[in-house]
Amino acid sequence: MGPSHGLAPSCSPRRRMGRCLPTLPAPWGCQSHLGQARPLRTDQRQDQEPALVPACTELRLGTDLCLHRLPQRPWSSLQPGAQDQASGWVSRTPPSRWMRSCTLGSCEARGMCWACQPCRGFRRFFFSEQNLGRSRAEATRELVAKLNEAVQVCVYTGDITEELLQDFQVVVLTASSLEEQLKVGTLCRKHGVCFLVADTRGLVGQLFCDFGENFTVQDLTEEEPQAAAIQHISQGSPGILTLREDAHNFHDGDLVTFSGIEGMVELNGCASRPIRVQEDGTLEIGDTTTFSSYLRGGAVTEVKRPKTVRHEPLCAALLQPRVVVQNPQEVHRAHCLHQAFRALHEFQRLSGRPPQPWDPADAERVVGLARGLKPLRGTKGEPLEEPLDEALVWTVALSSAGVLSPMAAVVGAVAAQEVLKAVSRKFLPLDQWLYFDALDCLPDDEQLLPKPEDCKPRRCRYDGQIAVFGASFQEKLSRQHYLLVGAGAIGCELLKGFALMGLGLQGRGAVTVADMDHVERSNLSRQFLFRPEDIGRPKAEVAAKAACHLNSDLQVNPLTHPLEPSTEHIYGDNFFSLVDGVAAALDSFQARHYVAARCTHYLKPLLEAGTQGTRGSASVFMPFVTEGYRGPLSEAEASEDAPHPVCSVRHFPSTAGHTLQWARDEFEGLFCRSAETINCHQEALASLADGEPRLLPLLQVAVGVLRQRPRNWQDCVLWALGHWQLRFRQGVEQLLRHHPPDEVLEDGTHFWSRPRQCPQPLEFDASQDTHLIYVLAAANLYARMHGLLGSQDQPALREMLQSLLLPDPQHPDPIFPNDLTSTEPDPEQMERLREALRDWSTGSPLEPLRFEKDDDSNFHMDFVTAAASLRAQNYGIPPASRAQSKRIVGQIIPAIATTTAAVAGLMGLELFKVVGGPRPLSAFRHSYLRLAENYFSRYRPRAPATQKFHHLSWTCWDRLKVTAGQPERTLKSLLDHIQEQHGLRVKMLLQDNAVLYSAGWPPEMQAQCLPLRVTEWAKQKTHWVPRPGQQVLVLTLSCEGEEDDTTFPPLHYELRQSGSPTTSVELCVPSPQ
């Protein structure tokens, strides 16, 4: 007997359209969206440039075949622009540059053209009307190639043969038949080629991965191997390792290695050792009985373990699917979606076409085909006695003819990340099927579902979207006006999505893009609307122009003013009155809070997203439906790397973050602030004479061991070497004179005890790369600051350093001694400083250097990385790599195009709901994903919290509205109305932070203000000047009897020119009964 099914026989097709529609999944766990429990930041200061991501990501589902190859055939004979007649490959660059490549294949026949399927244009942003009649692969190749010149993009239009596939590392099939998937999958399996299938059918997406029988993943997660500084290691069996910091994330069984240990040197560079974590946080590291005694320093570092993954071939995985889900409750739904896709393939095979949009007959036939499929089997081969959710299959079939840009973005982004996993063996691949559905975009009410006649093709670029939502919805979408705040990585993806979806095309519809930044080179790896020639131009203007190329009907208004309090005369009442919603792609929590507050003030929907590496989130905030935006108030609150105490950074560092902050401060002091100070040295000396000794250290290090302004490269090297000695040897020796290693405090504890680490001075050694690079970078920066030529010749610098002589290191002879306890300059120091600065003032002004992390030729990051590494050596701290240093010092949020595309697609799906009309809370979704770990969560937002006071109740979306009237009401009239209408006795009324009224004021003060018009008193009291077009004056209430945690809704005092004060009160909260 076959498995039972989910619907009773009496459940009719019409009933399936109503109450029998599938129940949406409940919230998944307690995952937090952006800006709440585990905040993520967004994308405008990011710096990771992944290989292949731009090309592979932007392909998404736009072509039928994507093959990634490492060429194995002789290319030396193939010239640029020539075509290999045997294979159809086209060479774009000289053979010497064939590093990696992506091949676009098209399974369409030569006669099959874009014109035959006009709806493809709305979701495939590489196509335009000019491409009608061309092969999709050919039309795509040139534009894909422009995204990244390092990626070789080729076109193949022949048959997919076994010989062809042998040359590739990865093959991706999109929009392909099941027969073709089985054929190509079998050939890929035979030759060890990683194989992916990616597809979307309306509001459901499918992804399949087969990386072979033995695929080894070298790095399972995105996290860096954890490292910690060592405090002590005992000799024994087992040896006990004590960490400098009590808190750590090591676990039993972790493999670790050691470095930088003095004394017990046998551990340095040893084979990885397993550890056991003790209750007190110490680590058992194995037998150390025969090792030397531990002296000081060193670091323990986690060694990541590889893992071998075993995938089943497609032919087996079809009947025995392993699905990626976040909890067991989702398995059944994923299996039903799996059967739905199989049934759709069968329908296509039998009918030669997909189901017609919202055709009940075709949908019923798909359900019948799904009913007749062989039952699925479990992981052990046992038959799965699962009912088929026929209502789910029915709904999938009704909308399966459509193809949506946001769905393609989400599924394509995940597929692109899987390609990167295949070629890099970094991060765990999908195991093996992923089903993503956004059926929650459809209305719950049966009467609001699209009608077949409304979803028929119009032979326009939006037919794929019309097939899902109908032509009337498309018309409504085209008349929306949205504000996009931020044209960074997510902002560009959103703008692309808006163009493809047809948002803001006609009437009052438009997209206004607001961004004050300019295009930087590092933007090019993740913001595909920008090109190298755009560097230095305003992002908003470049993005707007590029979006118009994607859709010439799109109405885009670029604005280069930031959205902040100072620009409320631009983004004011009149502006927001024309806006239907806001999409935010911002890089700071402060900016997010401000934009969210504007949306709350104007009651506008807010779509918001952020990414951090392979992690991303997307959120939607609907007036009166969901809670308002809640996130950290600042970057420091959100970051695990909060600002470091100054004392720790200067004298007692214990983490790599401390050393990097110190190095960054060094750069700023040496090459920027010192130049600015010397340029105005007369004022600086006057400040010193006036008793401001804070400039002494700054001027001292700027002059250093030199007695006169540098004249050549050798002088700059001498200064850099002297400063090396000052910072990493003499400064440490001086600190140890003040606090000897054996110092004991009054309470009997050692001064140098955790978390303080006793430093050790370094000896300069030009043969050590870090020492040499520090001097090279410092000397070049010093030369640049003085307008001199530098040098990049490291061998010549090593030779020069051997001949340079510095003053006696025991008696350094800078302008004045570096005394940590000195606070007052003496007359002799002042005179010597004046003499030196007179020489500095004879030449041209110095050039203050502004830190720039993205230029690898300017020595900025070289200096900071080397300085931090040397500082770490002083204190026995594990140093940060250059990449880590760049991320931390530049406050860079790692960004990759895959995650960016995914969250933008998720925002697009929520936009469908927002535009579609009133929807309940259950329709909306916050999303959180971790592509590296195959974690995908979509969950319902919280409802807005309700506050109560006596008879009143309200949420963050409510406000009290009172019109000013004509003539305008007085302050007394306003207070009386609030009491009459709401029973609230106002004890304090504020405008921003200024008090307009207080019940505690003396009678004469009240007598002065109460008879005045509200705006007149506001002008007198706070010097308020209404902005042009300002319609509302926002006031804050405090009332008698309120609790400490009561926050009354804002009072919107509407500055209207008509109406009567006795009839003009409008209230958005309940009045007393």
SS (H, E, C) 755-817: CCCCCCCCCCCCCCHHHHHHHHHHHHHHHHHCCCCCCCCHHHHHHHHHHCCCCCCCCCCCCCC
**How many helices (H) does the chain have, and how many strands (E)?**
33, 32
* Nearest Cα to Cα of residue 419 among 148, 69, 64, 47: 69
Distance CA 232, CA 425 (A): 36
Q: Is the peptide bond before 238 cis (omega within 30 degrees of 0)?
A: yes
Given the residues 119, 154, 647, 716, the one annotated as active site: 647
Q: Which residues are within 8 A (CB) of 86 and not within 5 positions of it... i.e. 6 or more apart? A: none
Which tokens is 352 given?
Answer: 């030669």
Distance CA 710, CA 720 (A): 11
Query: Are 503 and 911 within 8 A, CB to CB?
Result: yes
Checking 277-281 for CB contacts under 8 A at 24+ apart, the result is 277/250, 277/251, 277/252, 278/240, 281/243, 281/246, 281/247, 281/248
* Nearest Cα to Cα of residue 930 among 608, 616, 611, 490: 616
* Nearest Cα to Cα of residue 549 among 491, 583, 608, 499: 499
Distance CA 124, CA 405 (A): 8
* Nearest Cα to Cα of residue 490 among 528, 534, 516, 520: 528
Would you give the distance in Å from CA 951 to the centre of its chain?
Answer: 44
Pairing of strands 606-612, 615-621: antiparallel
Which tokens is 833 given?
Answer: 């400083």
Distance CA 458, CA 460 (A): 5
Q: Say whether 56 is catalytic.
A: no
Checking 181-185 for CB contacts under 8 A at 24+ apart, the result is 181/208, 181/314, 182/314, 182/315, 184/160, 185/210, 185/313, 185/314, 185/315
Beta strands (DSSP E) in 61-113 are: 65-69, 100-105
Query: Are 729 and 737 within 8 A, CB to CB?
Result: no
Query: Are 694 and 907 within 8 A, CB to CB?
Result: no
Helical axes 769-785 vs 860-875, angle rounded to 10°: 140
* Nearest Cα to Cα of residue 48 among 643, 663, 890: 890
Query: Are 772 and 791 within 8 A, CB to CB?
Result: no
Q: Which residues are catalytic?
A: 647
